[in-house]
Amino acid sequence: MIANRVAALGVFAWRLEKMQMHNSFEVYARLYDVVSDNLIKNGKCSNYKKTTFLYNIMEHPQEIDVSRYLKLSNEDFLEAIYVAALKRLPDDRTRGFWAERFDLPTPQFQQEVLKSIADSSVVAINGIHLKNNPYFEQKCGLKYKALGRLYYLTDKSILRELGKKLPASIQKIIRKVFL
Amino acid sequence: MQIYIDVSVLTLATFVTGIQRVTREIAVRLIQIGGENIILLHYNAKENTYYRIDNKKFCDYYTKKKGIKSRMITSRRVPLGDIGEDAVFFDLDAAWMGRVKRSYLLPILKGQGARIVAHVYDIISITHPQYCLERGVYNFMDFIGAHLQYADDIIVNAEVTVDELRKLAIALKVELPICHVVPLGADFGEKEVVRSDQVPAELQRIVDDRPYILMVGTIEPRKNHKLVLDAYKVGLKDLGYNIIFAGNMGWNMEDFAIELRTHPDYNQRIFHLTGKNDQEISYLYQHARFLAFCSYMEGFGLPLIEGIMRGAVVVAADIPVSREVAGDYCVWFPQDNAQALCDAVLYYHKNEDEYLKRKEILKEFRCTTWEQCGELVRKVIMG
């Protein structure tokens, strides 16, 4: 009896959450359209896709729920999961590399993309976890832990100030590796 | 009542300018008024945890330059569960630049019964995204979308921003939270006149060279620095004025940077100064013949007020927000019109009496102080 009530309460909470999320997504979708229209009026367009924006809404800062992204097309999956995990769009070279693989079967493509993200230094340094990943268990081995130690370098304002004094090209490399 | 403020972006910032400067001023005032009820937070991404900042060390570092910044972050974790009923989460900093998305955080805090108050400096990323860094626009959409749904109150710095928010809320079909207009303070040590022996000799040399037109602020597309360069070409140079741009080179300004650095008068009569401290900026304001303010859009326009406070005659592009905050204290010219800017300068160049009258009028200007700003913010936070 108690178990049933708890279960019912859980379903209610889940539904309420879903309703709120649904409402939120509509608001965010409209917001994307407003910005997109303003860009178009000024002869520009957004490099971020609407799907990327909407899939990233409400994402946990460190734990990326991979299962949310699995139904996307290969192209949309690449961008959305990339932004979720690495907080930036893939650069032209990366996009070009993956564009040649858009025709791969979806599970193979997704697995390869996730593998490259899981192996990246940014993910290791910032302790980003890819959860509900149906393809493989994210390794948190020695490399991951060792790079994770470097997080404290990025979190130290004195080191950031020092970094700002380095040549622009070196700053660019540091940003790519750490941030 | 505990007031939680996430200042992670400020604590990681290498330069305290713009929003971080305002965050610093307001946070310090709130601590001075509210003491231990103010809980400053620093987010540690590696541990996905907020840590409490020592209020005294924070104030010492940011007001007296005492101590080491990273040491103000204590080892006391602040679980999100602590921010519930009887607590206010005040989003003061440029949180969209941080890691914790507000679309994630605010529903949790709201669900725990916390009151949410946001300081929205402007919504230029939404209304004029073409002037902003794309990643910034993307992150700001999350921030403002969340606050329009979950904030109880929003603090802005001008009525113009309330109007913009109202239009946005209608477009998004959400109810606009209660908006409060709180002008920013501008009394960054305004009583102190900076003497020439307090600034580096190189700065003195530039200031003493010729009368100059000053522009202060990060060099970014919406500030329209190019207009002053154009005005220099069409007349300011012949009138004998130098140009000084004081501010770091921002985003999407590669073309302007090339135009600036390859200009034949670069470092001769056109100067770009970076990394100047408040005292040096004050010195520049004090001695400027004119302060140019050419922005297409602003949330408040702090350099405009600071210029007036230091007695610089301001020639400003006629945009609603600048009119609202500076009223009769500026010389206005139509936006994006280099010749009109030049003509405005020419008029006062030829009429010294009028110029001196303008300078006199500026003495009547009374800005909001940071104390007043902090008090007004606190009133809103406390509901």
Same domain, B222 and B286: yes
The total of structural domains in chain A comes to 2
Does residue A167 lie in a domain region? no
Q: Is residue A155 part of a domain?
A: no
B156-192 tens-digit pLDDT: 999 999 999 999 999 999 999 999 999 999 876 556 7
Question: Are the beta carbons of B135 and A58 separated by less than 8 Å?
Answer: no
CB-based contact B101 A56, cutoff 8 Å:
yes
Q: Is residue A160 part of a domain?
A: no
pLDDT of residue B226: 96
DSSP state for residue B369 in the 8-state scheme: P
Question: Is A151 within 8 Å of chain B by CB?
Answer: yes
Residues B215 and B132 in one domain: no
Report yes or no: A148 at the B interface, CB cutoff 8 Å.
yes
Q: In chain B, what percentage of residues exceed pLDDT 70?
A: 99
Residues in A closer than 8 angstroms to B45, CB to CB, are 61-62, 126-127, 151, 155
Nearest residue on chain B to A54, judged by CA atoms? Answer: B142
In total, chain A counts a number of residues equal to: 179
Across the interface, of B12, B44, B141, the residue whose CB is closest to A157 is B12
> Which pLDDT does position B238 carry in this prediction?
96
In a domain, B48, yes or no: yes
- Residue pLDDT, tens place only, B185-206: 987 655 678 898 899 999 999 9
Contact B224, B296 (CB under 8 A): yes
Question: A15 with A66, same domain?
Answer: no
- In terms of C-beta density within 10 A (0-12 exposed, 13-18 middle, 19 or more buried), how is residue A83 classed? buried
* Residue B223 is assigned to a structural domain of this protein: yes
Please tell me whether residues A63 and A111 are part of one structural domain: yes
Both A41 and A94 in one domain: the answer is no
Q: What integer pLDDT is reported at residue A122 of this predicted model? A: 83
Give the B window 1-30 contacts with A, CB below 8 Å: 11-15
B249 interfaces chain A, CB cutoff of 8 Å = no
Looking at the fold, whether A24 and A77 belong to one and the same domain comes out as no
Q: Which of residues 91-120 of A touch B (CB under 8 A)?
A: none
Please give the mean pLDDT across all residues of chain A.
81
* Residue in A20, A18, A83 with CA at minimum distance from that of residue B146: A20
CATH of the domain at B175: 3.40.50.2000
Chain A: give the shortest CA distance to residue B253, in Å. Answer: 15
Same domain membership, residue B140 and residue B75: yes
* Pair (A34, A55) in one structural domain: no
Q: What's the rounded mean pLDDT across residues A89-115?
A: 95
A1 and A83, same domain (yes or no):
no
Question: Tens of pLDDT along B290-343?
Answer: 999 999 999 999 899 989 999 999 999 999 999 999 988 999 999 999 999 999
**Closest residue of A to B135, CA-based?**
A88
- pLDDT single digits (tens) A9-61: 444 444 445 445 556 889 999 999 999 999 999 999 999 999 999 999 999 99
On whether the CB atoms of residues B167 and A30 are closer than 8 A, the answer is no
pLDDT of residue A177: 62
User: Is residue B349 in a domain?
Assistant: yes
Task: Kindly list the residues from chain B whose CB atom is less than 8 angstroms away from the CB atom of residue A44.
Answer: 129-130
Range of the domain at A72: 48-149
What ipTM does the predicted assembly reach? 0.90
The CA distance from B106 to the nearest CA of chain A, in Å, is: 9
The model's pLDDT over B93-112, given as tens digits with 9 standing for 90+, comes to 999 999 999 999 999 999 99
The Cα–Cα gap between B7 and B30 comes to 13
Name the residue with higher pLDDT: B53 or A3: B53
Contact A38 B127 (CB under 8 A): yes
Cβ distance of B171 and A30 shorter than 8 Å: yes
Give yes or no: residues B155 and B275 share one domain: no
The residue with tokens 């303003």 is A38
Could you tell me if residue B50 is inside a domain?
A: yes
Instruction: Assess whether A41 and A53 both reside in one domain.
Output: no
By the CB < 8 Å criterion, does A90 face chain B? no
| Average pLDDT for B245-258 | 92
Closest CA of chain A from B126, distance in Å: 5
Do A127 and A57 share a structural domain?
yes
The predicted structure's pLDDT at residue A11: 41
Show the tokens assigned to A71: 């139904």
Question: Is the domain of B97 the same as that of B224?
Answer: no
Other CB atoms within 10 A of residue B226 CB: 18
Contact indicator for B153, B180 with CB cutoff of 8 Å:
yes
B34 confidence band (pLDDT: 50, 70, 90): confident
A90 with A113, same domain? Answer: yes
The CA distance from B240 to the nearest CA of chain A, in Å, is: 35
CA dist B199 and B178 (Å) reads 45
Query: H-helix or E-strand containing B138?
Result: helix B134-150
At residue A140, the pLDDT reads: 73
One domain, residues B172 and B308:
no
B170 and B200 fall within a common domain: no
Q: What is the pLDDT of residue A12?
A: 43
pLDDT of residue B157: 96
Residue of A31, A55, A59, A62 to mutate, interface with B, max B Cβ within 10 Å: A31
Contact A48 B134 (CB under 8 A): yes
Pair (A29, A83) in one structural domain:
no
Contacts of B147 in chain A (CB under 8 A): none
Give the C-alpha separation, B114 to B89, whole Å.
Answer: 7
Which of A62, A144, A145 is most worth mutating to test chain B (most B CB atoms within 10 A of its CB)? A62
Instruction: Indicate if A59 and A127 belong to the same structural domain.
Output: yes
Q: Does B13 sit within 8 Å of A30, measured CB to CB?
A: no
**Looking at beta carbons, which residues of chain A come within 8 Å of B127?**
38
A73 has pLDDT over 60: yes
According to the model, what pLDDT value does residue A160 have? 63
Beta bridge partners of A65: A131
| Residue of chain A nearest B42, judged by CA positions | A155
The answer to whether residues B159 and B259 belong to one domain is no
Element holding B316 (H helix, E strand): strand B313-317
B351 part of contact set with chain A, CB < 8 Å = no
Domain that residue B15 falls in: 2-185+370-381
Asked if residue B3 has pLDDT above 50, the reply is yes
Q: Is residue B351 part of a domain?
A: yes
Residue B68: Cβ-neighbour burial (10 angstroms; 0-12, 13-18, 19+): exposed
pLDDT of the residue at A16: 47
pLDDT tens-place string over residues B42-84: 999 888 899 999 999 999 999 888 888 888 999 999 999 999 9
Mark whether B238 and B92 lie in a shared domain.
Answer: no
Same domain as B279, residue B178: no
Nearest CB among A34, A58, A62 relative to B171 is that of A34
Contact A38 B14 (CB under 8 A): no
Question: Quick check: is B211 in a domain?
Answer: yes
Cβ–Cβ < 8 Å for B37, B5:
no
Q: What is the pTM of this model?
A: 0.87
Q: Are residues B264 and B150 in the same domain?
A: no
Taking the CA of residue A105 and the nearest CA in chain B, the distance in Å comes to 30
Q: Are residues A2 and A35 in the same domain?
A: yes
B202 plus B237 within the same structural domain: yes
| DSSP of B69-131 | GGGGEEEEEE-GGGS-TTEEEEE-S-GGGSSS-HHHHHHHHHHTT-EEEEE----HHHH-GGG
Residue B190 domain flag:
no
The sheet with strand B270-273 has its strands ordered as B270-273, B242-246, B212-216, B290-293, B313-317, B330-333
Nearest to B101 among A23, A61, A89 (CB): A61
Structure confidence at residue B186 (pLDDT)? 82
Question: Which long-range contacts link A13-22 to residues 24+ away (Cβ below 8 Å)?
Answer: A20/B107, A21/A58
Confidence of residue A157 (pLDDT cuts 50, 70, 90): low
Question: Cβ contact (<8 Å) for A27 and B174?
Answer: yes
Residue A35 forms part of a structural domain:
yes
**Residue A51 to residue A40: CA distance in whole angstroms:** 18
Q: Which residues pair with B251 in a beta bridge?
A: none
- Please report where in the chains the tokens 């902090």 appear, as a residue: B374
